[in-house]
Copies of this chain bind each other. A is one copy, B any other.
Amino acid sequence: MTEPDETSMDLEITTHARSKPETRLWLRMLSTTKLISTEIRKRLRAEFGATLPQFDLMAQLYREQEGLRLGELSRRTMVTNGNITGLVERLEADGLVIRETPTDDRRVTVAKLTEAGMTTFSAMAEAHEGWLRDLMGDVSEDMIAALWRDIGRVKTSAASHLSGPAEE
């Protein structure tokens, strides 16, 4: 066997319901996002030969066609700095991204999509959108809207209770 059997995974405590509601919700969020991202990763790979982090990174660059500094990319993708370096290197090797250093601040590296990168990304983005509609096909529009709203609350709550610094 080459991968976990998605239908019977049990991150969630199905047999014992003894966890607290927050924990129960968390386990369900985790298993759901894992399920969906595994599927999307699989399709991205099969149809475009791309990885999910590459797709995420390109999505950010597509929205800022003049390019982004690597640190900015790191922030937006929630990927650590060190990781961005290699990610961009590989995309550059594939001809989808170029790196350049502006003359006025030579500490900086700006990454931007090439023409090929833009073309490739827009095809991927369209497919991606369709996959999600497919995967969420049995969920009503109302429920999707409600989830979007309520998950926003969770995110806000979590963001304001982080241990690290970075709040003001």
Contact B143 A20 (CB under 8 A): no
Among B10, B79, B157, contact of A76 (Cβ-Cβ < 8 Å): B10
| Inter-chain contacts of A10 with B (CB < 8 A) | 60, 75-76
**CA A139 to CA B26, docked complex, whole Å:** 13
Among B75, B138, B152, contact of A157 (Cβ-Cβ < 8 Å): B138
Which residue of chain B is the closest to A52 with respect to CB atoms? B30
**CA A84 to CA B34, docked complex, whole Å:** 16
Question: How many copies of this kind of chain does the complex include?
Answer: 2
Contact B11 A77 (CB under 8 A): yes
**CA A124 to CA B11, docked complex, whole Å:** 16
- Dominant secondary structure of chain A at its interface with chain B: helix
Verify if A160 is at the interface (C-beta below 8 Å from B).
yes
- Give the distance to chain B from A61, nearest Cβ to Cβ, in Å: 13
Verify if A158 is at the interface (C-beta below 8 Å from B).
yes
Verify if A66 is at the interface (C-beta below 8 Å from B).
no
| Inter-chain contacts of A87 with B (CB < 8 A) | none
Verify if A80 is at the interface (C-beta below 8 Å from B).
yes
| Inter-chain contacts of A105 with B (CB < 8 A) | none
Verify if A128 is at the interface (C-beta below 8 Å from B).
yes
> Which residues of chain A in 52-108 are interfacial with respect to chain B, using CB atoms and an 8 Å cutoff?
56, 60, 63, 71, 74-81
- Give the distance to chain B from A138, nearest Cβ to Cβ, in Å: 4
